[in-house]
Amino acid sequence: MSIREQMIDIIGVPYDLGASCKGGRMGPDAFRCAGLVTRLRELGCDVLDRGDVKLPAAGEPYGWSRTGEESVSGSPKARHLPEIVSLNKRLFRAVSGSHHNQRIPLVLGGDHSLAIGSVAGTASQLEGPLGVIWFDAHGDLNTFKTTPSGNIHGMSLAASLGYGHPILTKLSGLRPKVRPEHVVLIGARSLDPGELKLIQQTGIRVFTIREIDRIGMQEVMQQALAISTRDTAGLHLSFDLDALDPADAPGVGTPVAHGVRLDEAMLAMKFIYENGSLRSADFVELNPVLDLRNRTGKAGVELICTLFGK
């Protein structure tokens, strides 16, 4: 069955406590205002907007017993950890429910810490390993021991791989959610020392901007799909809009110069669509406060529509 013939659940996560720069909580509505639902339906997709995940209150219990090292408390090395764990638990249930109904969850952020719940929700519903393609200017491979900022949006890929605070890595009971040999990071150009060490330790395939420029996006995606779909039961796409060049996506909280150009990213989405392995996706870090006439929101909608067959 092609992606177009499947059904899509849109799940908003208006949350930005995982990042230093605020405003990302308005991202889901910016995607909607850019015409996302209408555009997908025009492609022939069966789209249901499930609304937004209910946000936890500050300091709200996260739903697991506090025992030993799994105690969740606020820390400069893992800022807003209780609230983020609670949010990801709710997102995990929403994504799992979407899969149970044989639909594709499309998660709109919000900051990238939400990927902990979206990856976990998809991994829990597959009858085999999950492959992940992660577009990002950053690695998101820090842990609470290596983070220079304490922002959990920079720990989400590490947590999905089983590295970091136990309450993040064990979310949903699965640990790890994904194996390093099934993960590809594309667009990286700002990696911290701890992230570089983890990349060397795990052997995760990373395509930096320099390599994309050298071999082209077509070759990058052929290799990325070969890695992420080999012996896996499905693919999750996690797309941080700061992977794009700031000229195409000014509305992100942590822009990094010389990024993936929008036409290159759309080519990448086309390759994923044609591959047919997509099971879920999240598009994150859209910050309307920093955007110019919703240029970044519109770029995100173009990417999503291409992912689903435009």
- From 9, 83, 240, 264, the catalytic residue: 240
Q: Annotated catalytic, 138?
A: yes
Q: How many whole angstroms separate alpha carbon 9 and alpha carbon 121?
A: 13
Indicate the helix (H) or strand (E) that contains 132: strand 130-135
Q: Annotated catalytic, 46?
A: no
- Both tokens of 24, joined, read 């990302």
pLDDT, position 172: 83
Asked if residue 54 lies in contact with residue 90, where contact means CB atoms within 8 angstroms, the answer is yes
Q: How many whole angstroms separate alpha carbon 66 and alpha carbon 73?
A: 10
Q: How many whole angstroms separate alpha carbon 243 and alpha carbon 260?
A: 6
Q: Annotated catalytic, 245?
A: no
Confidence of residue 145 (pLDDT cuts 50, 70, 90): very high
Q: Say if residue 282 carries a ligand binding annotation.
A: no
Q: Annotated catalytic, 16?
A: no
Asked if residue 19 lies in contact with residue 115, where contact means CB atoms within 8 angstroms, the answer is no
Give 178-199 pLDDT, tens digit per residue. 999 999 999 999 999 999 999 9
Angstrom CA distances, 222 to 20, 204, 259, stand at 35, 16, 20
**List of residues 6+ apart from 204 with CB closer than 8 A:** 141, 161, 180, 183, 184, 185, 198
Q: Annotated catalytic, 291?
A: no
Q: Is 208 exposed, middle or buried (0-12, 13-18, 19+ CB in 10 A)?
A: middle
| % residues pLDDT > 90 (the chain) | 86
Give 214-232 pLDDT, tens digit per residue. 999 999 999 999 999 999 9
Q: Say if residue 245 carries a ligand binding annotation.
A: no
Q: How many whole angstroms separate alpha carbon 290 and alpha carbon 273?
A: 30
Can you tell me whether residue 282 is helix, strand or coil? strand
Q: Say if residue 165 carries a ligand binding annotation.
A: no
Q: Annotated catalytic, 99?
A: no
pLDDT, position 121: 97
Give 74-128 pLDDT, tens digit per residue. 567 888 899 999 999 999 999 999 999 999 999 999 999 999 999 999 999 999 9
pLDDT, position 62: 47
- From 52, 83, 242, 248, the catalytic residue: 242
Q: Say if residue 291 carries a ligand binding annotation.
A: no
> What residue segments make up the domains of the chain, in order of their start?
3-307
Q: Annotated catalytic, 153?
A: yes
- From 9, 83, 136, 195, the catalytic residue: 136
pLDDT, position 10: 98
**List of residues 6+ apart from 129 with CB closer than 8 A:** 178, 179, 182, 231, 232, 233
- From 80, 153, 165, 182, the catalytic residue: 153
- From 264, 285, 291, 302, the catalytic residue: 285
Q: Say if residue 112 carries a ligand binding annotation.
A: yes
- From 52, 140, 245, 264, the catalytic residue: 140
Q: Annotated catalytic, 285?
A: yes
The domain 3-307 having CATH identifier 3.40.800.10: the answer here is yes
pLDDT, position 74: 53
69: left (phi over 0), alpha (psi -120 to 50) or beta: alpha
Q: Say if residue 213 carries a ligand binding annotation.
A: no
Residue type, 25: R
Angstrom CA distances, 98 to 6, 67, 78, 262, 287, stand at 12, 31, 29, 29, 26
pLDDT, position 63: 46
